[in-house]
Amino acid sequence: MLLAGKNVLVTGGTSGIGREIAVRFALEGASVIISGRNEERGMDVVREIEGQGGNAIFVRADLRKYDDIMKLIDNVMKNVSKLDVLVNNAGVLHLNYIEDLTLDQWNECLMVNLTAPFLLIKGLIPLLKGGGVIINISSTAGLSGYPTGAAYCSSKAALIMLTKVAALELAKYGIRVIAIAPGVVDTPLIYQGIPGDKVDEYREVIKERVPLKTIGKPIDIAELVLFLSSNRARYITGSVFVIDGGLTAGRKESGISFK
């Protein structure tokens, strides 16, 4: 087992990528602390993990709220004396053109996607010293912008820079810090705002845009997170790993016609 005896915190661990990461970590021997807003879904993940012989607890935390973030940090400190892996996975998506984007939407994206990871990193450094790993789940939206993505793209781009700075600062403590930038992954988030009867059509359109002609699955991201969290990746820090089926590799066509 890659993470036998390790303690892990996964934010946003009640669904999608976060849930898959939590379950995968538990199968590799880690004791997992799962945080999220929905207690029912959180306990469902705990039961799934325990049903497979793993160990997990759920801590309710709304990362839009400063007090909840501080309580989560306190809770982790009470439950473990050492934290081996912190996965900042929780995220929120607001899509709106700049002229229509509200300050509340902007602030919520930055709070959950950037400020919460910053506060968790800052608050949990004492538990991570001596070999801890921090994995920040960014996005290809943090590498390449698009219309309506001002808040989301900005927050994810800033998370990548926070990763790099933290990697430089925390290396003296033996803490590795890494960012992962997923492309399109089949979770409820990518269908936000899409009418139910249009989901299948939307999925096919997305597939056509991806060079590998497929949409990523949460397990694809979880497997990468697992590797980067293990000692097999002991020499990796400050890096950004893109996992997007080739979506951001470049244009599929040159635009030049050859006869």
Q: What is the pLDDT of residues 93-147, one digit of tens each?
A: 999 999 999 999 999 999 999 999 999 999 999 999 999 999 999 999 999 999 9
Q: How many residues does the chain have?
A: 259
Query: Among this protein's residues, is 97 annotated catalytic?
Result: no
Q: How high is the pLDDT of residue 193?
A: 74
Q: What is the mean pLDDT of residues 191-201?
A: 83
Q: How high is the pLDDT of residue 14?
A: 96
Structure pTM? 0.94
pLDDT in tens, 16-27: 999 999 999 999
Cα distances from 24 to residues 91, 114, 182, in angstroms, run 20, 25, 17
Please work out, in degrees rounded to the nearest 5, the angle formed at the alpha carbon of residue 106 by the alpha carbons of 103 and 112: 130
Kindly give, in sequence order, each residue whose CB lies less than 8 Å from that of residue 189, ignoring residues fewer than 6 positions away.
16, 91, 93
CA 238 – CA 96 distance, rounded (Å): 31
CA 109 – CA 115 distance, rounded (Å): 9
Task: Report residue 200's pLDDT band, with 50, 70 and 90 as the boundaries.
Answer: confident
Q: What is the mean pLDDT of residues 23-50?
A: 97
Q: Is 206 in contact with 215 (CB distance < 8 Å)?
A: yes
pLDDT in tens, 58-98: 999 999 999 999 999 999 999 999 999 999 999 999 999 99
Query: What are the phi and psi torsion angles at 81 (to 5°)?
Result: -90, -15
Q: Which long-range contacts (CB under 8 A, 24 or more apart) does 140-147 make?
A: 140/181, 140/182, 140/183, 140/242, 140/244, 140/247, 140/248, 142/181, 143/181, 143/240, 143/242, 143/248, 144/248, 147/97
Q: Is residue 242 over pLDDT 80?
A: yes
Q: How high is the pLDDT of residue 188?
A: 78
- Between 214 and 257, the higher pLDDT residue: 214
Active-site residue, selected from the candidate residues 152, 191, 202, 235? 152
Spell out the domains of the chain, with CATH numbers in brackets: 7-243 (3.40.50.720)
Q: How high is the pLDDT of residue 250?
A: 87
Both tokens of residue 231? Answer: 């000692």
pLDDT in tens, 50-66: 999 999 999 999 999 99
Q: How high is the pLDDT of residue 256?
A: 60
* Terminal-to-terminal C-alpha distance of the chain: 55
Q: How high is the pLDDT of residue 187?
A: 87
Kindly give, in sequence order, each residue whose CB lies less than 8 Å from that of residue 85, ignoring residues fewer than 6 positions away.
3, 6, 7, 8, 9, 25, 30, 132, 133, 134, 135, 229
Residues of the chain with pLDDT > 70, as a percent, come to: 97
